[in-house]
Structure 1
Amino acid sequence: MPDPSAGFSLETVSNLGADLLDGVAPRLVTIHGRRRGTSSGFLWRPGLIVTAEEAVEADEDVTVTRPDGSQVSASLVGRDPSTDIALLRIEEQPLADFEFSPSDSLRAGHLVFTAGRHLEGLTAALGIVALASGPWRSLRGGVIDRRIHLDVRLDFQSEGGVALDTNGRIMGMTVLGPRGRVLVIPSDTIERVAPQLLEKGRVARGYLGLGLQPVRIDRAAADAAGLAEPRGLIVISVDQDGPGQKADIRQGDILVRWNADAVPSVRYVYRLLGPESVGQAVDLGILRAGEHMTLAVEIWERPKPQ
């Protein structure tokens, strides 16, 4: 145990936690949604709020409770489901500048404070970094700069709040992942995605213009195509004037390769259609009426939803 004479005490730790929360309180807001209830967010820049994308519905007018307790309407600037980041705009008020804490120094075992804002007031929790590793792709294909899991309890109302290092700096946004796991969308990802949302309202994603569905194929056809598993993706729809149609891909074709790699699932293809894929040309291995062929396709940017 630390020596109390060296200046360590539970009261010191307790006061430190409260001071960290006080320091971030002027940035924490409550997001009011029609169907999901409330969640948290934080002021990124004057008049601009970062929050969890799944907490904001595209077609609704959002209300925000500001740090001073006043409620204002917010408009949706942009959203990126693949990284779970949304950007809202409210009436601008004076706001001190801040710098995110980079996440690259975070290690398993480090202590982390989480903070959000409920209708009743501020919320806080103290947790530990359960996992800190390198970049990963979300189930929706977005690149998250670091995989950070926290051993801490987080409720829906606190989702979209912040994760703080022990110096009180914001190192990311807290969200709920699969099976209730608490994840941190790191500061590196927010700094990369939020400016794109501010400029364009969305993050560009690749587009093939094809509807795909998993299918098992004949073993002989799989062997002829050099596949370890007799699986592919059947084309169930082709968008009019889309990149797939331009490349002569037809309904009923079976996609078996992306360049030299097999395509085990629709999710796998979706993950390949990230922002970096736009403008690239790929060779798609196709089975058509038992015949193997290769078609070159240029990946377009996904059209903006109407």
Structure 2
Amino acid sequence: MTRNPRFTSNDRFASHPDEQLLDAYSQAVISVVEKVSPAVVNIDVQKSPRGRSRYFQSFSPEVRGNGSGFIFTPDGYILTNAHVVEDASNIEVTLADGRSYAAELIGDDPDRDLAVIRIHAANLVAARLGDSQALKVGQLAIAIGHPYGFQTTVTTGVISALGRSFRSSSGKLIENIIQTDAALNPGNSGGPLVTSHGEVIGINTAIAISAQGICFAVPINTAKMVIPALMKGGKVRRGYIGIGGQNVQISRRIMLFHELSGDTGIFVMYVEPHSPARKAGLQEGDVIVGFNGQQLTSIEDLQKLLTPERVGVRRRVAACRETSQLTILRRNQKLFLSIVPEESP
């Protein structure tokens, strides 16, 4: 047999490293799916109509909805989006192995678009929760869910940005959002966003309708802060100052000049009318770097401090309200603003 002189063994092996790389990527995704998908559930919801006639009959039949979620404890607690189970009169959960169970709503937090529901079943697989604070822009992200009711749909992408603010369709401002280009579709809401190590680092929540490849997830560290309150009392009380912002890098020159201990802060994109931030004099373009003398490097840092116990939120007697102090950078100045956080409306 005559050999083709244009191709040698070296040519054949030259592409081998690329093939190995692609195969390693595929194996990583396959491994994650095998590990996490048993914990991902499909959620079918019957929602009660808001309107009733004078005869106490609904104007329209019950509306059905669909979403995703994932088991995070072996005894059946499931994390999903608040908008998935909002106004639910009946919640049914279908596991990856086909078993179906009625679920009860344990609690929800519309401000963060998070909810905890529970089923009572045996032999449940729980997903492992990661650390969203350790995320880096550009790292692999894998979304798993049940869009349109299709069982275990997987999409991949990267972490596109961190610390975003996003206004949901209900008008609520959700802060400290993860932006990813892992494709999401209706029904993906509430499903996990996962790392290449199989750890959940976000809860898929929304799609930018007017854009392509821009999807959002609530960081798992935010969920970790919310879950105990939802499991204990069904809701979350938190402080509120009324800003939309994102994490921003601070130059080393400014950091040294103002004697800051961190090189990141919170860039104020907008200030809501009549909010505590507006009353305190906070402006668009300010960079928040401290709260009550503590250094802030991210929106998550601020969220941790805006608790009822720490800030003394809305009280009946105005004189009893606790005043806090924001440290901000405005142009070339370092300023201190007095602010009275309120309970989130």
Q: TM-score range by the shorter chain?
A: 0.5 to 0.7
What secondary structure is seen at the aligned counterpart in 1 of 2:184? coil
Pair 1:5–1:102, CA change in 2 (3 A)? same
> TM-score normalized by structure 1?
0.65
Aligned-partner Cα distance in 2 for 1:90–1:196: 19
TM-fit CA distance, 1:149: 0.6
TM-fit CA distance, 1:67: 2.0
Aligned to 2:281: 261
Aligned-partner Cα distance in 2 for 1:109–1:143: 20
After superposition, the C-alpha distances for 1:129-173 in whole angstroms (9 at most, x for unaligned) are 2112x4x665435553xx321113200111211111111221111
Aligned to 2:228: 195
Q: Which consecutive segments of 4 or more residues in structure 1 shift more than 6 A?
A: none
Aligned-partner Cα distance in 1 for 2:65–2:237: 29
What secondary structure is seen at the aligned counterpart in 2 of 1:202? coil
How is 1:265-276 mapped onto 2 (pairs within 5 angstroms)?
A: 275-276=307-308
Aligned-partner Cα distance in 2 for 1:150–1:177: 10
Give the counterpart of 1:44 among 63, 72, 76.
72
Aligned to 1:16: 28
Pair 1:262–1:4, CA change in 2 (3 A)? closer
What amino acid maps onto 1:20 in structure 2?
A: V
Aligned to 2:327: none
* Unaligned runs of at least 5 residues, structure 1: 208-231, 234-254, 265-271, 284-297
Aligned to 1:152: 182
Contact 1:2 1:8 in 2 (8 A): no
Contact 1:58 1:76 in 2 (8 A): no
Aligned to 1:213: none
Give the counterpart of 1:184 among 217, 223, 230.
217
After superposition, the C-alpha distances for 1:221-253 in whole angstroms (9 at most, x for unaligned) are xxxxxxxxxxx75xxxxxxxxxxxxxxxxxxxx
Aligned to 1:126: 156
Contact 1:108 1:128 in 2 (8 A): yes
Aligned-partner Cα distance in 1 for 2:41–2:29: 19
Aligned to 2:45: 33
What amino acid maps onto 1:15 in structure 2?
A: Q
Comparing 79-88 with 51-60, which one deviates more in the overlay? 51-60
How is 1:1-306 mapped onto 2 (pairs within 5 angstroms)?
A: 4=16, 8-34=20-46, 35=63, 37-45=65-73, 46-95=75-124, 99-118=128-147, 119-132=149-162, 134=163, 139=167, 140=172, 144=176, 147-179=177-209, 181-205=214-238, 258=279, 260-261=280-281, 275-276=307-308, 277-279=311-313, 280-281=321-322
Pair 1:64–1:28, CA change in 2 (3 A)? same
Contact 2:159 2:178 in 1 (8 A): yes
TM-fit CA distance, 1:194: 1.2
Aligned-partner Cα distance in 2 for 1:33–1:99: 26
Q: Percent identity?
A: 26
Alignment coverage as a number of residue pairs? 237
TM-fit CA distance, 1:262: 6.7
TM-fit CA distance, 1:32: 0.6
TM-fit CA distance, 1:206: 5.6
> TM-score normalized by structure 2?
0.58
Contact 1:79 1:201 in 2 (8 A): yes
Pair 1:98–1:262, CA change in 2 (3 A)? closer
Aligned-partner Cα distance in 1 for 2:216–2:323: 33
What secondary structure is seen at the aligned counterpart in 2 of 1:31? strand
After superposition, the C-alpha distances for 1:70-117 in whole angstroms (9 at most, x for unaligned) are 211111111101111011011142345654221223222212111113
Pair 1:98–1:64, CA change in 2 (3 A)? closer
